[in-house]
Amino acid sequence: MLLTDVNGRLTWNLIDDVRNALAFHFMVNAFRAGTIVAIVAAGIGWFMVLRRETFAGHTLSVVGFPGAAGAIWLGLSAVWGYFAFCIAAALVIAAIPTRRARGYHDESAAIGTLQAFALACGFLFASLYGGFANGFNALLFGTFLGVTDTQVVTLLVVGAAALVVVSVVARPLLFASVDPDVARARGVPVRLLSVTFLVVLGVAVAEASQITGSLLVFALLVAPAATAQTVTARPVLGLGVSIAVGLAITWLGLGIGYFYPTLPIGFLITTVAFSGYIAFVLARQLVELLR
Amino acid sequence: MTVFLATGTGFAQMLAHPFMRNAFVAGTAIAAASGLVGYFVVLRSQVFSGDALSHAAFTGALGALALGVDLRLGLFVVTIAVAAGMGLLGPRGRADDVVIGMVFMWVLGLGVLFQTLFTTSASGTGNGSASVNVLFGSILGLSGGQAVVAAIVGVIACAAVLGAGRPLLFASVDEAVAAARGVPVRLLGVGFLVLVGVTAAEATQAVGALLLVGLVAAPAASAQRLTDRPWRGLLLAAALSVFAVWAGLTIAYLHGSVPASFAIMAVATAEYLGALGWSLIP
């Protein structure tokens, strides 16, 4: 079903409007899926921004596209493609030597090459499969409004697992992210933690991009964390703010999308996220000015 | 596409086809510019900025389509504007990781909006594949005029990199000392980002907005693995990039089902893997 068929109208009674929107099962599922994805992405994204692995996160999210296209070409379910490619890419990125190794500084170039090659493979698979022109859009920019009940359950299980892993390693991961050298000296397994985190990031991104599309999952990863960083440097509080911002962005984006069906959800979510970020940055500067 | 029907008629006749000649003319200039600019992008660790500019290129192209103006106008205006903005906002002409991420997230969202506007307004006119062309390139579909313009812009970009090469190299390797010696570091930083923007707009026409970061990063990173000398590395990056485009175009010509942009990217990736292996041999 297309949103334009539903023809939701915004009235002055907000509660009625929300009740109206949630009368449609696909809207309920969109909110359920959006909520799960927002919490997982915001939580893990907070660590990603802290560890300055934004580019790696973007690459992982993009790699889901060739995974899904390849799986569809081979006649498998796209879900397998997402997980296989994202986890494999996480391992490849983890294997790239870090900046300090032997004085080369092409770590980000290697990640960029991996990303472009992965996207090129996706294009190849889609071309080989043929008759896929509309599938491009779904894979790259998401199908928020076509989420099934099974997908919601899968999202919930995988998302919970990813969050459990992150919360188990949260303390040492935080230590290793903030000061890797001291952490290593204190016996924290920095390298193992870094690989674990990248794999969890891969899994989270793989599940989120089935809903948001490969190109927009990045918005839910980076925007809440970036906004939270302008508010506080405290870890627990920051994580909380990040998740709250993630939820607000997703709900607002979906809500506006219901009443303005001609606007794509991806555009709405990124716009809400970006304006929120700008507002927080300006507010922070104002507070510092007045202090 | 009619283009693919003409392929597979043998290596010897490859350049007899006008569309292949156009692709080689435009592709060579675009590849040389990407290689030269890419060398400094990698040296300055600005690959992520290049990535952000490539997404800006997507938005620019689709914005132009939605407005009904020439696609290239949108490409150049938006990439140059975003490049200048990132350069001016960031400290010392470089933008922060998170800021880049936020900017290109929103730029991409805008691109989605333009795409929707364009497909709604142009539905039924058979232009639905336009966004696929922008994302993944359509080098075999360039007209003679487009190829000439692309070649001229590419040559100008190459000349600009080589002209500013010495101070840019100084500023990239040791910013503080360069600033102390009176090199206009900030101006160079912003100017360089604008040049990356121009290259991104150029390369979008060849390999597409999503893949151009590979053409910028892979040959340059290979060159830096193979030699420490700046000028040799710069020329090697351009040569490797041009070779990737030539080899990719040839592969795509001989095997009609393989998209040209995939073949180019595969060769570039193979070059990087080869250079990586070479540099790891003790």
Nearest residue on chain A to B258, alpha-carbon basis: A124
**Contact (CB<8Å) A54/B136:** no
The answer to whether B258 contacts chain A (CB < 8 Å) is: yes
Residue A260 CB coordination number (10 Å): 12
- Give the whole-angstrom CA distance, residue A264 versus residue B50: 26
What are the residues whose beta carbons fall under 8 Å from the beta carbon of A234, sequence distance 6 or more?
none
pLDDT at B2 over 60: no
CB B264 within 8 A of CB B28: no
pLDDT at A51 over 70: yes
**Contact (CB<8Å) A136/B225:** no
- Give the whole-angstrom CA distance, residue A283 versus residue A224: 16
- Give the whole-angstrom CA distance, residue A57 versus residue B108: 16
The answer to whether B245 contacts chain A (CB < 8 Å) is: no
Based on the number of CB atoms within 10 Å of its own CB, is B50 exposed (0-12), middle (13-18) or buried (19 or more)?
A: buried
CB B54 within 8 A of CB B208: no
Q: Looking at chain B from residue 13 to 42, which residues have their Cβ under 8 Å from any Cβ of chain A? A: 42
What pLDDT, on the 0 to 100 scale, is given for residue B176? 84
CB B244 within 8 A of CB B215: yes
What pLDDT, on the 0 to 100 scale, is given for residue B44? 86
Provide the token pair at B266: 């595969």
Q: What is the ipTM of this complex?
A: 0.84
The answer to whether A49 contacts chain B (CB < 8 Å) is: yes
Least confident stretch, A5-14, A190-199, B103-112:
A5-14
Nearest Cβ partner of A120 from B109, B224, B261?
B261
**Contact (CB<8Å) A117/B266:** yes
| Dihedral, CA of residue A174, residue A179, residue A182 and residue A184, to nearest 10 | 60
Q: What is the mean pLDDT of chain B?
A: 84
Question: SS in 3 state form for B72-106?
Answer: HHHHHHHHHHHHHHHHHHCHHHCCCHHHHHHHHHH
What pLDDT, on the 0 to 100 scale, is given for residue B222? 92
User: What confidence tens digit (pLDDT) does each residue in A208-258 have?
Assistant: 888 777 777 888 888 999 899 888 888 889 999 999 999 999 999 888 888
A217 to chain B, minimum CA–CA distance in Å?
9
The answer to whether A217 contacts chain B (CB < 8 Å) is: no
User: What confidence tens digit (pLDDT) does each residue in B85-141 have?
Assistant: 888 776 654 557 788 888 878 888 888 888 888 776 654 444 456 677 777 878 888
The DSSP output letter for A144 is G
- Give the whole-angstrom CA distance, residue A85 versus residue B105: 22
Asked whether the CA dihedral B43, B160, B195, B140 is positive or negative, the reply is negative
The answer to whether B147 contacts chain A (CB < 8 Å) is: no
What are the residues whose beta carbons fall under 8 Å from the beta carbon of B77, sequence distance 6 or more?
B60
Q: Which residues of A touch B212 (CB under 8 A)?
A: 116
What are the residues whose beta carbons fall under 8 Å from the beta carbon of B177, sequence distance 6 or more?
B170
Coil, strand or helix at A141: helix
Coil, strand or helix at A60: helix
The size of the A-B interface in CB pairs under 8 A is: 175
**Contact (CB<8Å) A113/B112:** no
CB B189 within 8 A of CB B165: no
- Give the whole-angstrom CA distance, residue A272 versus residue A224: 11
Phi first, then psi: what are they for B181, rounded to 5°? -85, 5
Average pLDDT over residues A115-136: 77
Provide the token pair at A17: 């409007």
What are the residues whose beta carbons fall under 8 Å from the beta carbon of B106, sequence distance 6 or more?
A270, A271, A273, A274
Q: What percent of chain A has pLDDT over 90?
A: 20
Provide the token pair at B172: 């990239």
**The pTM of the whole model exceeds 0.80:** yes
Average pLDDT over residues A3-14: 58
Q: What is the mean pLDDT of chain A?
A: 83
